[in-house]
Amino acid sequence: MENRSPTLEGHIKRLAGKLRVKGEEKNASSLEKLLDSSQDEIALVPSRLTISKPAISWGEKLTKVVRPPVDRETGNVLAEIFFPDGRKEKPIFDNSFESAIDSMLAEWQHAELLRQNGISSALSCLLYGAPGTGKTKTAYFIAEKLNLPVVVAKLDGLISSFLGTTARNIASLFDFSNRYHCILLLDEFDAIAKVRDDPHELGEIKRVVNTLLQCIDNRLNKGFTIAITNHEKLLDSAIWRRFDTKIHIPKPTSDVRKKLIESFSATMINETEIALLTWLTVGYTGSDIESLCNFIKRQNVLMGKKINIIENLKRYVYLNDGVLNESMKEILMLDNELMAYYLFNNSEGMFNQEKLAVLFSRDKSTISRWLSKNRG
């Protein structure tokens, strides 16, 4: 019914009629409802909607009726399938890094054109970096731009305690992905791509990695592959050579942290508060910043009013120990007078008396008295 035609509709109508003659009213009605509902769906499609062409033309189209592969012995699902929905936002990075991502994306978007001109394109990418830096978001954004579904490997289904089963499951996953238009996403990649001479691993890991290498080689000209890891040093050296593009996702710079805070906090904090959060969150990942902004928003909503940002951050320190670096933690644990003095003298002019008055919800004369009291 996805590619319906008058001939197909005629067959379905005749089948429904014969079922009704045989007394199978329920089945006949189901077929007629299928025709009606499909017609409704077509009527709802905007007439000017243009579906972008897939970046690759080889393989079959992956639809929502296709079931993911499973472990033959246990029935465990080996992958989840996600379809583009137009709602994936572009991750926030600095300009130079964003330009590099755009360059790779342009090559993937024109992979078929390169292929037609006898030029091989880089169809595999390894994303690595600290947890929470946006690796998975980047992968889904790439899939959205290519208008391709994502086949996401499920580690709990792939990895088995039975000898040889993990390697077989990996082969099944790649066979499935090679058949369809899709991006194969291997998250937590280090779980199946560890160094083969690791003395703490059994011989099974060698079989798994060897199978993985063969599968990646076989997929090079059949579709896009993205692998993600937080522990790149655990990867076997041969794995690194299999990926055409290797991208380290960095922790956000000051400018990027500011953009992230503005994005996550909406209108609940002002420019001076944004500047303070940007200054305090050195070493934070995008995920850390999102958690901090959500904490501030939750506190404001629960209290029914906007809480002073300094008091909010002091609570955050105790409830999220280990996230802030030690120097920033020590600053927030000072009493307000000493903290104001520290910010005034150690922020390279970022926080003058007027801004400190905003941060501490005090008038400028009070701030001036605090600074005079602690001078020296």
pLDDT in tens, 173-183: 999 999 999 99
* Same domain as 234, residue 120: yes
Of 200-214, 250-264, 334-348, the poorest mean pLDDT is in 200-214
* Same domain as 242, residue 265: no
Residue (of 57, 251, 68) closest to 172 by Cα position? 68
Predicted pLDDT at 58: 63
Considering the domain boundaries, does residue 55 fall inside one? no
Cα 166 to Cα 207: distance, rounded to the nearest angstrom: 9
What range defines the domain where residue 284 resides?
Answer: 254-374
* Same domain as 224, residue 145: yes
* Inter-residue contact 92 to 259 (CB < 8 Å): yes
User: How far is CA 210 from each of CA 74, 206, 229, 233, rounded to the nearest angstrom?
Assistant: 23, 6, 19, 18
- CB crowding 202-231: b at 16 or more within 10 Å, else e: eebbbbbbebbbebbeebeebbbbbbbbbe
Predicted pLDDT at 226: 95
* Same domain as 282, residue 214: no
Cα 19 to Cα 14: distance, rounded to the nearest angstrom: 9
Average pLDDT value for residue range 259-270: 86
Predicted pLDDT at 246: 92
| CATH number of the domain within which 127 lies | 3.40.50.300
* Same domain as 273, residue 237: no
Cα 313 to Cα 324: distance, rounded to the nearest angstrom: 11
Q: Is the pLDDT of residue 46 over 50?
A: no
* Same domain as 263, residue 174: no
Predicted pLDDT at 197: 65
Considering the domain boundaries, does residue 65 fall inside one? no
Q: Is the pLDDT of residue 223 over 50?
A: yes
* Inter-residue contact 55 to 109 (CB < 8 Å): yes
Residue (of 139, 129, 97) closest to 232 by Cα position? 129
Residue (of 82, 129, 125, 118) closest to 103 by Cα position? 125
* Same domain as 232, residue 162: yes
Predicted pLDDT at 170: 93
* Inter-residue contact 158 to 173 (CB < 8 Å): yes
* Same domain as 226, residue 83: yes
For the chain, first and last CA: distance in Å?
80
* Same domain as 135, residue 23: no
Give me the residue label for tokens 């999102």: 290
Predicted pLDDT at 24: 86
- Number of domains, the chain: 3
Residue 32 pLDDT grade (very low, low, confident, very high; cuts 50, 70, 90): confident
Considering the domain boundaries, does residue 172 fall inside one? yes
- CB crowding 26-61: b at 16 or more within 10 Å, else e: eebeebbeebeeeeeeeeeeeeeeeeeebbbeeeee
Residue 110 pLDDT grade (very low, low, confident, very high; cuts 50, 70, 90): confident
Cα 53 to Cα 109: distance, rounded to the nearest angstrom: 9
In degrees and rounded to multiples of 5, residue 113 shows phi and psi of -60, -45
Give me the residue label for tokens 């926080």: 351
Q: Is the pLDDT of residue 203 over 80?
A: no
Q: Is the pLDDT of residue 161 over 80?
A: no
Q: Is the pLDDT of residue 45 over 50?
A: no
Q: Which residue has the higher pLDDT, 1 or 18?
A: 18
Residue 20 CB: number of other CB atoms within 10 A? Answer: 15
Q: Which residue has the higher pLDDT, 99 or 323?
A: 99
Residue 77 pLDDT grade (very low, low, confident, very high; cuts 50, 70, 90): very high
Average pLDDT value for residue range 88-111: 84
* Inter-residue contact 193 to 239 (CB < 8 Å): yes
Considering the domain boundaries, does residue 68 fall inside one? no
Q: Is 220 helix (H, G, I), strand (E, B) or coil?
A: coil
Cα 146 to Cα 123: distance, rounded to the nearest angstrom: 12
* Same domain as 282, residue 367: yes
Q: Is 236 helix (H, G, I), strand (E, B) or coil?
A: coil
Residue 252 pLDDT grade (very low, low, confident, very high; cuts 50, 70, 90): very high
Cα 126 to Cα 232: distance, rounded to the nearest angstrom: 9
Predicted pLDDT at 44: 37
Q: Is the pLDDT of residue 93 over 70?
A: yes
| Beta-sheet pairing, 79-82 with 150-153 | antiparallel
Considering the domain boundaries, does residue 53 fall inside one? no
Considering the domain boundaries, does residue 363 fall inside one? yes
Predicted pLDDT at 253: 92
Residue 47 pLDDT grade (very low, low, confident, very high; cuts 50, 70, 90): very low
Considering the domain boundaries, does residue 130 fall inside one? yes
Element (H, E) at 341: helix 336-346
* Same domain as 291, residue 193: no
Average pLDDT value for residue range 154-169: 82
Q: Which residue has the higher pLDDT, 152 or 114?
A: 152
Residue (of 324, 155, 121) closest to 229 by Cα position? 155
* Same domain as 91, residue 39: no
Predicted pLDDT at 42: 41
Residue 94 pLDDT grade (very low, low, confident, very high; cuts 50, 70, 90): confident
Considering the domain boundaries, does residue 282 fall inside one? yes
Predicted pLDDT at 51: 38
Among 217, 248, 279, residue at a domain's last position: 248
Q: Which residue has the higher pLDDT, 221 or 2?
A: 221
Cα 200 to Cα 206: distance, rounded to the nearest angstrom: 12
Of 93-102, 273-282, 338-347, the poorest mean pLDDT is in 93-102
* Token pair for 26: 């329920």
User: How much of the chain exceeds pLDDT 70, in percent?
Assistant: 90
Element (H, E) at 226: strand 224-229
Q: Which residue has the higher pLDDT, 178 or 89?
A: 178
